[in-house]
Amino acid sequence: MQISGEIVIDGESDTFTNATAFIYLEDVGRADAAARVLGRAMLTAVAHQQGAESRVPFTVESIDAPSTGDAVLRVHISLDGDENVLARDLVSTSHNSATEGGSLEIAVKTV
Protein backbone atom coordinates (compact mmCIF):
# COMPACT_ATOMS: atom_id res chain seq x y z
CA MET A 1 0.00 0.00 0.00
CA GLN A 2 1.37 3.39 -0.99
CA ILE A 3 -0.23 6.64 0.14
CA SER A 4 0.72 10.10 -1.14
CA GLY A 5 -0.46 13.54 -0.24
CA GLU A 6 0.45 16.93 1.13
CA ILE A 7 0.87 18.29 4.63
CA VAL A 8 -0.88 21.66 4.79
CA ILE A 9 0.49 24.34 7.15
CA ASP A 10 -1.77 27.39 7.40
CA GLY A 11 -0.49 30.93 7.16
CA GLU A 12 -1.15 31.64 10.84
CA SER A 13 1.52 29.16 11.99
CA ASP A 14 4.81 30.70 13.15
CA THR A 15 7.81 30.76 10.83
CA PHE A 16 10.22 27.83 11.16
CA THR A 17 13.09 26.24 9.26
CA ASN A 18 14.93 22.93 9.37
CA ALA A 19 12.05 21.01 10.99
CA THR A 20 11.42 17.27 10.62
CA ALA A 21 8.07 15.85 9.51
CA PHE A 22 7.10 12.35 10.68
CA ILE A 23 4.24 10.70 8.80
CA TYR A 24 2.78 7.51 10.27
CA LEU A 25 0.45 5.05 8.53
CA GLU A 26 -1.40 3.23 11.31
CA ASP A 27 -3.83 0.31 11.60
CA VAL A 28 -6.60 1.52 13.93
CA GLY A 29 -9.13 -1.23 13.27
CA ARG A 30 -8.90 -3.03 16.60
CA ALA A 31 -11.04 -1.62 19.40
CA ASP A 32 -9.30 -1.16 22.73
CA ALA A 33 -5.87 -1.79 21.20
CA ALA A 34 -3.02 0.55 20.41
CA ALA A 35 -2.62 1.51 16.77
CA ARG A 36 -0.10 -0.64 14.90
CA VAL A 37 2.37 1.27 12.70
CA LEU A 38 2.19 -0.05 9.12
CA GLY A 39 4.55 2.45 7.55
CA ARG A 40 6.51 5.57 8.36
CA ALA A 41 8.14 8.39 6.43
CA MET A 42 10.45 11.15 7.63
CA LEU A 43 11.09 14.42 5.80
CA THR A 44 13.91 16.75 6.82
CA ALA A 45 14.54 20.45 6.17
CA VAL A 46 10.82 21.33 6.33
CA ALA A 47 10.28 25.10 6.38
CA HIS A 48 7.34 27.48 6.64
CA GLN A 49 6.91 31.26 6.41
CA GLN A 50 4.17 32.86 8.53
CA GLY A 51 1.57 34.64 6.40
CA ALA A 52 1.58 32.08 3.57
CA GLU A 53 0.19 28.56 3.34
CA SER A 54 2.85 25.86 2.93
CA ARG A 55 2.33 22.45 1.33
CA VAL A 56 4.78 19.62 1.89
CA PRO A 57 4.41 16.57 -0.40
CA PHE A 58 4.91 13.09 1.09
CA THR A 59 4.65 9.40 0.24
CA VAL A 60 4.35 6.57 2.77
CA GLU A 61 4.89 2.94 1.85
CA SER A 62 3.20 0.29 3.99
CA ILE A 63 5.18 -2.73 5.17
CA ASP A 64 1.96 -4.62 5.94
CA ALA A 65 -1.78 -4.47 5.22
CA PRO A 66 -4.18 -3.27 7.93
CA SER A 67 -5.92 -6.13 9.75
CA THR A 68 -9.40 -4.68 9.18
CA GLY A 69 -8.86 -2.29 6.31
CA ASP A 70 -9.06 0.71 8.64
CA ALA A 71 -5.80 2.64 8.24
CA VAL A 72 -5.15 6.30 9.01
CA LEU A 73 -2.33 8.78 8.57
CA ARG A 74 -0.95 10.85 11.42
CA VAL A 75 1.53 13.72 11.01
CA HIS A 76 3.92 15.36 13.48
CA ILE A 77 6.22 18.23 12.48
CA SER A 78 8.99 18.47 15.06
CA LEU A 79 10.81 21.77 15.35
CA ASP A 80 13.73 20.12 17.15
CA GLY A 81 13.89 16.99 14.98
CA ASP A 82 12.82 14.26 17.39
CA GLU A 83 9.65 12.21 17.67
CA ASN A 84 8.56 13.59 21.05
CA VAL A 85 5.72 16.08 20.69
CA LEU A 86 6.64 19.36 22.39
CA ALA A 87 5.12 22.82 22.65
CA ARG A 88 5.29 24.69 19.30
CA ASP A 89 5.41 21.43 17.26
CA LEU A 90 2.63 20.88 14.72
CA VAL A 91 0.37 17.81 14.64
CA SER A 92 -2.59 16.53 12.66
CA THR A 93 -5.81 16.63 14.67
CA SER A 94 -8.38 15.03 12.37
CA HIS A 95 -9.09 11.45 11.28
CA ASN A 96 -7.26 11.00 7.95
CA SER A 97 -8.39 7.72 6.38
CA ALA A 98 -5.76 6.17 4.12
CA THR A 99 -6.74 4.66 0.79
CA GLU A 100 -4.21 2.95 -1.46
CA GLY A 101 -3.37 5.12 -4.42
CA GLY A 102 -5.28 7.99 -2.83
CA SER A 103 -3.99 11.48 -2.32
CA LEU A 104 -4.64 13.29 0.94
CA GLU A 105 -4.33 16.79 2.31
CA ILE A 106 -3.50 16.66 6.01
CA ALA A 107 -3.76 19.91 7.96
CA VAL A 108 -1.51 20.38 10.98
CA LYS A 109 -1.92 22.74 13.93
CA THR A 110 0.48 24.02 16.57
CA VAL A 111 0.48 22.18 19.90
DSSP of 33-82, one letter per residue?
SPPEEEEEEEEEEEEE-TTS-EEEEEEEE-SS--SSS-EEEEEEEESSSS
Nearest one of 92, 89, 86, 105 to 16, comparing CA atoms: 89
Whether 33 contacts 75, CB under 8 Å: no
pLDDT of res. 41: 96
pLDDT digits 0-9 by tens, 14-54? 999 999 999 999 887 777 778 888 899 999 999 999 999 99
The DSSP line for 99-111 is: -TT-EEEEEEEE-
Whether 34 contacts 26, CB under 8 Å: no
pLDDT of res. 60: 93
pLDDT of res. 56: 98
- Residue 68, Cα to own-chain centre: how many angstroms? 21
pLDDT digits 0-9 by tens, 52-103? 999 999 999 887 766 666 788 999 999 999 999 999 999 999 888 887 776 7
Strand partners, 54: 9
pLDDT bracket for residue 3 (50, 70, 90) = confident
pLDDT of res. 68: 67
pLDDT score of 1 more than 80: no
